[in-house]
Amino acid sequence: MVLFGVGGTLAMMIRTQLLTPNSQFMSPETYNSIVSIHGMIMIIATIIMVSGPFANFIMPIMIGAKDMAFPRLNALSFWLVVSAVPPILGSFLLGGVPAGWTTYAPLAVQAPPAMDAFAITICTFVLSVTVAGINTLVTVLTMRTKGMTPGRLPIFVWGSIIAGGLGLYAMPAFLMAQSAMITDRVVGTSFYVAMQGGTGWLYENTFWIMGHPEVYVILIPPVGALIEIASTFSRKPVFAYKVMVSGVIGIATLAIMVWAHHMFTTGWAPTLADPFMLTTELISIPTGIVFLCMVGTIWRGSIWTRLPMYFLYLFLFNFIVGGITGIYLSDVPVDQYFHGNMFVTAHFHYTLLGGGMIGAAGAVSYWYPKMTGRMLNERIGKTAFWIIAAGIQITYLGQFWEGFQGMPRRVANYAQIFQHANDMSSVGAYILMTGWIVFLYAIISSWRHGVKAPANPWHAKSLEWQTSSPPPLENFLVDPVVTSDPYGYGEDDLAPQRQPQPVSAEAGSTTGGAH
């Protein structure tokens, strides 16, 4: 939340600069640095928002484990992220990072000393993600309780292990790219210096070998959480469970084959443009399968519309917009026009903020009772939801129009024709930030004053809801035995641990926020 707040504050500074065509709110150099730091901090924040707290707290309970396989590695992963924050924020004192959030060479090689701090931050963060990925995989593979077969794993657990494996594949490339950058700057090597035999294309390839899989490292765990929400609040089993899991695996597999679509306009290997265009378009197939399975889970269910379902509905809308616009960008001729303009910015934010962060908010509202032992205030939460939903649409829909009209991204000043759309985006951004502040207030106030949560306020069937809220030190007083799948709604419960606990009258009051 702290990282998200810092990144959001930088976003407000960006939108304030863009309120007028020739704003003097900040210099172009400062603007470039803020864009760079905003981008990387938000990537870090969104990556750890779901795969961090929920994969470490909720996932072991979902498989009946007492803890993560390596608790000390867990702590190491967390403190590595904490240690990465001061260098990236301190880069402002060292001249800023004017190379953009992707820090392309040769700009990054020629950048001020702050670039060294930025690169060290990235290397530290990569180590954190790698350690966390190993811990997640080992935990699921070795610590499942009796009866927890692969076919009974909750979708969120599948999402966590697939995202962890994808991170283990992608992150070493990023570490290599930044390490070579540091040696070019400090030691005098020439990995990216053209006049000494290097090439900036090497950096772009290694960056995007990480960059596009990382999008799915961010998205897959929130999608898994939303599928848990869809099944619980529709009172239906997950539609086509095996197909759903296969779709997520298909997304992860194709995600490692599409990185060069970010380089269609660079001139690198033009003969490979068509194959990468094909693989990029193919990824829409498993993505569509997962989307349809999610909708199929809701279809004709006994819908219980609570705050987590609100976030699910918003995710579905945002992801349609982000997904369809992504198909446009996968086509080489279309990308030649859109690549450097605001269309990409709108697509990117609809996908990661409208998808990843909304999924994270849904996960928070769903598992909040389990983690804190309190019910999240439903009234304040829904107020925050509507403000956030309005803010997203107002902020980013206008940016598609800017892209169609050719407004470049990453610019501190722009032509007069784009002012109305930029004003709309800036107003929307302020609304969006207000919504997140209200949501944060709901989290903090409910933790202090919320109604005490029962063990299973949602009448869910997955294993994490069969222990107390919050759970005991080692999650279960007695090792659980799984006798059925976690989505067996409509079936008779065969084991006592499957009996849902009723919601108390106190928890159901509107003042407490449970209804």
| C-alpha to C-alpha distance for 402 and 418, rounded to whole angstroms | 7
How far, CA to CA in Å, does 168 sit from each of 53, 92, 252, 383, 453?
Answer: 18, 31, 12, 38, 37
Q: Which range (49-53, 61-65, 374-378, 432-436) has the least confidence? A: 49-53
Residue type, 341: N
Query: What tens digit of pLDDT does each residue of 19-39 get?
Result: 999 999 999 999 999 999 999
Per the model's pLDDT, the better-predicted residue between 507 and 422 turns out to be 422
| C-alpha to C-alpha distance for 434 and 217, rounded to whole angstroms | 27
Residue type, 298: I
The pLDDT assigned to 291 comes to 96
The pLDDT assigned to 85 comes to 86
How far, CA to CA in Å, does 224 sit from each of 21, 51, 156, 458?
Answer: 42, 10, 4, 17
Closest alpha carbon to 127 in 69, 83, 162, 189: 83
Q: Are 239 and 297 in contact (CB under 8 A)?
A: yes
Query: What tens digit of pLDDT does each residue of 462-484 get?
Result: 999 999 999 999 999 999 999 98
The pLDDT assigned to 492 comes to 55
Q: Are 61 and 460 in contact (CB under 8 A)?
A: no
Query: What tens digit of pLDDT does each residue of 381-392 get?
Result: 999 999 999 999
- For residue 408, which phi and psi values (nearest 5 degrees)? -65, 150
Per the model's pLDDT, the better-predicted residue between 500 and 449 turns out to be 449
Query: What tens digit of pLDDT does each residue of 97-134 get?
Result: 888 889 998 889 988 899 999 999 999 999 999 999 99
Place of tokens 């199929």: 296
The pLDDT assigned to 491 comes to 62
The pLDDT assigned to 35 comes to 94
Q: Are 379 and 449 in contact (CB under 8 A)?
A: no
The pLDDT assigned to 45 comes to 72
Query: What tens digit of pLDDT does each residue of 278-335 get?
Result: 999 999 999 999 999 999 999 999 999 999 999 999 999 999 999 999 999 999 999 9
Domains and CATH numbers, the chain: 2-498 (1.20.210.10)
| C-alpha to C-alpha distance for 97 and 79, rounded to whole angstroms | 24
Query: What tens digit of pLDDT does each residue of 143-195 get?
Result: 999 999 999 999 999 999 999 999 999 999 999 999 999 999 999 999 999 98
Would you place residue 94 in the very low, low, confident or very high pLDDT band (cuts 50, 70, 90)?
confident
| C-alpha to C-alpha distance for 289 and 240, rounded to whole angstroms | 10
Cβ-count burial of 249 within 10 angstroms (0-12 exposed, 13-18 middle, 19+ buried)? middle
| C-alpha to C-alpha distance for 81 and 458, rounded to whole angstroms | 33
Tell whether the model's pLDDT for residue 498 goes beyond 60: no
Tell whether the model's pLDDT for residue 49 goes beyond 80: no
The pLDDT assigned to 43 comes to 84
Cβ-count burial of 367 within 10 angstroms (0-12 exposed, 13-18 middle, 19+ buried)? buried
What mean pLDDT value characterizes the chain?
91
For the entire predicted model, the pTM comes to 0.92
